[in-house]
Protein backbone atom coordinates (compact mmCIF):
# COMPACT_ATOMS: atom_id res chain seq x y z
CA UNK A 1 0.00 0.00 0.00
CA UNK A 2 1.28 3.47 -0.91
CA UNK A 3 1.61 5.71 2.15
CA UNK A 4 -0.10 9.11 2.31
CA UNK A 5 3.33 10.72 2.60
CA UNK A 6 4.46 9.03 -0.62
CA UNK A 7 1.27 10.14 -2.37
CA UNK A 8 1.85 13.71 -1.24
CA UNK A 9 5.34 13.64 -2.72
CA UNK A 10 4.04 12.25 -6.00
CA UNK A 11 1.36 14.93 -6.22
CA UNK A 12 3.80 17.71 -5.31
CA UNK A 13 6.34 16.57 -7.89
CA UNK A 14 3.77 16.11 -10.65
CA UNK A 15 2.32 19.58 -10.01
CA UNK A 16 5.71 21.28 -10.21
CA UNK A 17 6.46 19.63 -13.53
CA UNK A 18 3.02 20.45 -14.86
CA UNK A 19 3.97 24.08 -14.21
CA UNK A 20 6.88 23.48 -16.60
CA UNK A 21 4.46 22.09 -19.16
CA UNK A 22 5.35 18.44 -18.56
CA UNK A 23 3.13 15.53 -17.54
CA UNK A 24 5.39 12.99 -15.88
CA UNK A 25 4.77 9.28 -16.30
CA UNK A 26 4.47 7.03 -13.25
CA UNK A 27 7.94 5.69 -14.05
CA UNK A 28 9.44 9.19 -14.15
CA UNK A 29 7.78 10.15 -10.87
CA UNK A 30 9.16 6.98 -9.29
CA UNK A 31 12.64 7.73 -10.62
CA UNK A 32 12.63 11.26 -9.23
CA UNK A 33 11.39 10.13 -5.81
CA UNK A 34 13.98 7.35 -5.62
CA UNK A 35 16.62 9.90 -6.60
CA UNK A 36 15.70 12.06 -3.60
CA UNK A 37 16.05 9.03 -1.34
CA UNK A 38 19.50 8.22 -2.72
CA UNK A 39 20.59 11.84 -2.35
CA UNK A 40 19.59 11.78 1.32
CA UNK A 41 21.32 8.44 1.97
CA UNK A 42 24.59 9.34 0.26
CA UNK A 43 24.61 12.90 1.54
CA UNK A 44 25.31 11.47 4.98
CA UNK A 45 28.55 9.96 3.65
CA UNK A 46 29.74 12.53 1.11
CA UNK A 47 28.91 16.18 0.59
CA UNK A 48 26.48 16.24 -2.34
CA UNK A 49 24.04 19.06 -1.66
CA UNK A 50 23.03 21.54 1.04
CA UNK A 51 19.44 21.31 -0.22
CA UNK A 52 17.89 18.23 1.37
CA UNK A 53 14.14 18.76 2.00
CA UNK A 54 12.05 16.91 -0.59
CA UNK A 55 10.11 19.99 -1.70
CA UNK A 56 13.30 22.03 -2.11
CA UNK A 57 15.05 19.26 -4.03
CA UNK A 58 12.02 18.87 -6.32
CA UNK A 59 11.96 22.57 -7.19
CA UNK A 60 15.50 23.90 -6.80
CA UNK A 61 17.28 20.86 -8.24
CA UNK A 62 14.85 18.86 -10.37
CA UNK A 63 12.64 21.58 -11.86
CA UNK A 64 15.61 23.90 -12.28
CA UNK A 65 17.63 21.22 -14.08
CA UNK A 66 14.67 20.50 -16.36
CA UNK A 67 13.94 24.15 -17.18
CA UNK A 68 15.02 23.68 -20.84
CA UNK A 69 11.73 21.85 -21.41
CA UNK A 70 9.96 25.22 -21.16
CA UNK A 71 11.66 26.38 -24.34
CA UNK A 72 10.56 24.18 -27.29
CA UNK A 73 13.56 24.87 -29.53
CA UNK A 74 15.98 24.02 -26.73
CA UNK A 75 14.01 20.94 -25.68
CA UNK A 76 14.11 19.70 -29.26
CA UNK A 77 17.91 20.05 -29.30
CA UNK A 78 18.17 17.80 -26.25
CA UNK A 79 16.11 14.96 -27.75
CA UNK A 80 18.52 12.25 -28.93
CA UNK A 81 21.47 14.60 -28.31
CA UNK A 82 24.90 13.61 -27.04
CA UNK A 83 25.10 15.68 -23.84
CA UNK A 84 28.08 16.22 -21.56
CA UNK A 85 27.29 17.33 -18.00
CA UNK A 86 30.48 19.08 -16.91
CA UNK A 87 31.16 19.09 -13.16
CA UNK A 88 28.04 17.04 -12.60
CA UNK A 89 28.40 16.81 -8.82
CA UNK A 90 25.23 15.19 -7.47
CA UNK A 91 23.95 14.72 -11.03
CA UNK A 92 22.52 18.11 -11.89
CA UNK A 93 21.40 18.88 -14.52
CA UNK A 94 22.28 15.57 -16.20
CA UNK A 95 20.17 13.00 -14.36
CA UNK A 96 16.90 15.01 -14.25
CA UNK A 97 17.33 15.77 -17.96
CA UNK A 98 17.96 12.08 -18.71
CA UNK A 99 14.81 11.11 -16.81
CA UNK A 100 12.86 13.66 -18.86
CA UNK A 101 14.58 12.84 -22.18
CA UNK A 102 15.35 9.08 -22.11
CA UNK A 103 16.71 9.18 -25.67
CA UNK A 104 19.42 11.64 -24.66
CA UNK A 105 22.94 10.19 -24.70
CA UNK A 106 24.37 11.42 -21.39
CA UNK A 107 27.95 11.59 -20.21
CA UNK A 108 28.55 12.97 -16.70
CA UNK A 109 32.00 14.18 -15.72
CA UNK A 110 33.32 15.03 -12.28
CA UNK A 111 36.72 15.42 -10.68
CA UNK A 112 35.81 13.57 -7.45
CA UNK A 113 35.78 9.77 -7.57
CA UNK A 114 33.25 9.53 -4.71
CA UNK A 115 30.73 11.56 -6.68
CA UNK A 116 31.26 9.38 -9.73
CA UNK A 117 30.50 6.30 -7.63
CA UNK A 118 27.31 8.00 -6.47
CA UNK A 119 26.30 8.84 -10.04
CA UNK A 120 26.94 5.26 -11.16
CA UNK A 121 24.84 3.95 -8.27
CA UNK A 122 21.98 6.34 -9.08
CA UNK A 123 21.98 5.37 -12.75
CA UNK A 124 21.90 1.69 -11.78
CA UNK A 125 19.05 2.19 -9.31
CA UNK A 126 16.98 4.31 -11.71
CA UNK A 127 17.64 2.19 -14.79
CA UNK A 128 19.35 5.01 -16.67
CA UNK A 129 21.99 4.39 -19.30
CA UNK A 130 24.71 7.02 -18.93
CA UNK A 131 28.48 7.25 -18.86
CA UNK A 132 30.08 8.47 -15.62
CA UNK A 133 33.63 9.70 -16.15
CA UNK A 134 36.14 10.60 -13.45
CA UNK A 135 38.50 13.45 -14.28
CA UNK A 136 38.97 17.20 -14.53
CA UNK A 137 37.36 18.94 -17.49
CA UNK A 138 40.71 20.44 -18.50
CA UNK A 139 42.21 16.96 -18.88
CA UNK A 140 39.20 15.16 -20.35
CA UNK A 141 38.73 17.80 -23.05
CA UNK A 142 42.17 16.91 -24.41
CA UNK A 143 41.12 13.31 -25.02
CA UNK A 144 40.14 12.50 -28.61
CA UNK A 145 37.00 10.61 -27.55
CA UNK A 146 35.62 13.73 -25.84
CA UNK A 147 37.15 16.61 -27.81
CA UNK A 148 34.39 18.44 -29.70
CA UNK A 149 32.35 15.23 -29.52
CA UNK A 150 29.08 16.48 -27.98
CA UNK A 151 25.97 18.20 -29.29
CA UNK A 152 25.54 19.94 -25.94
CA UNK A 153 27.84 20.65 -22.98
CA UNK A 154 25.85 21.71 -19.91
CA UNK A 155 26.98 23.00 -16.53
CA UNK A 156 25.15 24.13 -13.42
CA UNK A 157 26.65 25.86 -10.37
CA UNK A 158 30.25 25.24 -11.44
CA UNK A 159 32.04 28.54 -12.16
CA UNK A 160 31.64 32.07 -13.58
CA UNK A 161 31.03 32.20 -17.32
CA UNK A 162 34.51 33.28 -18.40
CA UNK A 163 35.99 30.28 -16.55
CA UNK A 164 33.14 27.90 -17.36
CA UNK A 165 33.50 28.64 -21.08
CA UNK A 166 37.01 27.20 -21.07
CA UNK A 167 35.77 24.11 -19.28
CA UNK A 168 32.80 23.48 -21.59
CA UNK A 169 33.30 24.78 -25.13
CA UNK A 170 36.17 22.39 -25.99
CA UNK A 171 33.68 19.50 -25.61
CA UNK A 172 31.15 20.99 -28.04
CA UNK A 173 31.16 20.12 -31.74
CA UNK A 174 30.77 22.87 -34.35
CA UNK A 175 27.12 24.02 -34.48
CA UNK A 176 26.59 22.43 -31.07
CA UNK A 177 25.54 24.21 -27.88
CA UNK A 178 27.09 25.29 -24.58
CA UNK A 179 24.31 25.51 -21.97
CA UNK A 180 24.92 27.26 -18.66
CA UNK A 181 22.46 27.50 -15.76
CA UNK A 182 22.73 30.91 -14.10
CA UNK A 183 21.02 33.47 -11.89
CA UNK A 184 18.25 35.76 -13.11
CA UNK A 185 20.73 38.56 -13.83
CA UNK A 186 23.77 37.13 -15.65
CA UNK A 187 24.66 40.29 -17.59
CA UNK A 188 27.83 41.08 -15.66
CA UNK A 189 29.11 37.51 -16.03
CA UNK A 190 28.37 37.56 -19.73
CA UNK A 191 30.16 40.86 -20.25
CA UNK A 192 33.24 39.48 -18.51
CA UNK A 193 33.06 36.30 -20.62
CA UNK A 194 32.78 38.01 -24.01
CA UNK A 195 36.45 37.58 -24.92
CA UNK A 196 36.60 33.98 -23.66
CA UNK A 197 33.59 32.96 -25.73
CA UNK A 198 35.11 34.47 -28.86
CA UNK A 199 38.55 32.92 -28.32
CA UNK A 200 37.10 29.46 -27.64
CA UNK A 201 34.90 29.36 -30.75
CA UNK A 202 31.61 30.43 -29.21
CA UNK A 203 29.04 32.73 -30.78
CA UNK A 204 26.83 35.38 -29.26
CA UNK A 205 25.12 34.33 -26.03
CA UNK A 206 21.35 34.06 -25.77
CA UNK A 207 19.66 34.44 -22.37
CA UNK A 208 16.44 32.58 -21.56
CA UNK A 209 14.83 33.68 -18.29
CA UNK A 210 12.38 31.72 -16.16
CA UNK A 211 10.92 31.51 -12.66
CA UNK A 212 10.92 28.27 -10.70
CA UNK A 213 7.40 26.83 -10.19
CA UNK A 214 5.40 28.25 -7.29
CA UNK A 215 8.27 30.56 -6.27
CA UNK A 216 9.56 34.04 -7.06
CA UNK A 217 13.04 32.57 -7.64
CA UNK A 218 14.26 33.86 -10.98
CA UNK A 219 16.83 31.94 -13.00
CA UNK A 220 18.30 31.97 -16.50
CA UNK A 221 19.74 29.65 -19.10
CA UNK A 222 22.60 30.93 -21.21
CA UNK A 223 22.92 29.39 -24.66
CA UNK A 224 26.12 29.76 -26.68
CA UNK A 225 26.35 28.19 -30.12
CA UNK A 226 29.70 26.74 -31.20
CA UNK A 227 30.67 28.58 -34.36
CA UNK A 228 34.28 27.53 -34.79
CA UNK A 229 36.81 25.01 -33.53
CA UNK A 230 38.39 25.61 -30.13
CA UNK A 231 42.14 26.26 -30.54
CA UNK A 232 44.20 23.21 -29.56
CA UNK A 233 45.89 24.99 -26.64
CA UNK A 234 42.55 25.22 -24.79
CA UNK A 235 41.63 24.26 -22.19
CA UNK A 236 44.85 25.16 -20.44
CA UNK A 237 46.36 23.06 -17.64
CA UNK A 238 44.16 22.24 -14.66
CA UNK A 239 43.55 25.28 -12.47
CA UNK A 240 44.84 27.84 -14.98
CA UNK A 241 41.42 29.03 -16.13
CA UNK A 242 40.34 29.72 -12.55
CA UNK A 243 43.57 31.57 -11.70
CA UNK A 244 43.88 33.46 -14.96
CA UNK A 245 40.55 33.63 -16.81
CA UNK A 246 40.53 34.60 -20.47
Give the tens place of pLDDT for each residue, 113-148.
Answer: 999 999 999 999 999 999 999 999 999 999 999 999
Q: What is the pLDDT of residue 3?
A: 64
Contact between 130 and 98 (Cβ < 8 Å)? yes
pLDDT over threshold 50, residue 1: no
Q: According to the CATH classification, is domain 4-243 in 3.40.50.150? A: yes
Residue 181 to residue 186: CA distance in whole angstroms: 10
Per-residue pLDDT of 176-213, as tens digits, reads 999 999 998 999 999 999 999 999 999 989 999 999 98
Per-residue pLDDT of 16-26, as tens digits, reads 999 999 999 99
Banded pLDDT at 2 (limits 50, 70, 90): low
Among the listed residues 96, 243, 84, the one whose alpha carbon sits nearest the alpha carbon of residue 160: 243
Contact between 181 and 155 (Cβ < 8 Å)? yes
pLDDT over 70, % of the chain: 98
Q: What is the pLDDT of residue 222?
A: 97
Q: What is the pLDDT of residue 6?
A: 81
Residue range 101-113: mean pLDDT, rounded: 97
Q: What is the pTM of this model?
A: 0.94
pLDDT over threshold 80, residue 4: no
Banded pLDDT at 103 (limits 50, 70, 90): very high
Would you kindly state where each structural domain of the chain is located, as residue ranges?
Answer: 4-243
Per-residue pLDDT of 33-73, as tens digits, reads 999 999 999 999 898 999 989 999 999 999 999 999 999 99
Banded pLDDT at 214 (limits 50, 70, 90): confident
Collect all residues with Cβ–Cβ distance below 8 Å to 132 and sequence separation of at least 6: 107, 108, 110, 116, 119, 120, 123
Amino acid sequence: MISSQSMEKEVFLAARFEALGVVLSDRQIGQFIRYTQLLAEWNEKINLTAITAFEDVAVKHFADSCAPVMFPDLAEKLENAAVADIGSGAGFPGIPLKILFPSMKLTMMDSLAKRIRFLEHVCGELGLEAACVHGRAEDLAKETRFREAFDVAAARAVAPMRILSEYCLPFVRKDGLFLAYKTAQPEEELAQAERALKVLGGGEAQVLRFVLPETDYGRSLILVSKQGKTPAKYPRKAGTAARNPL
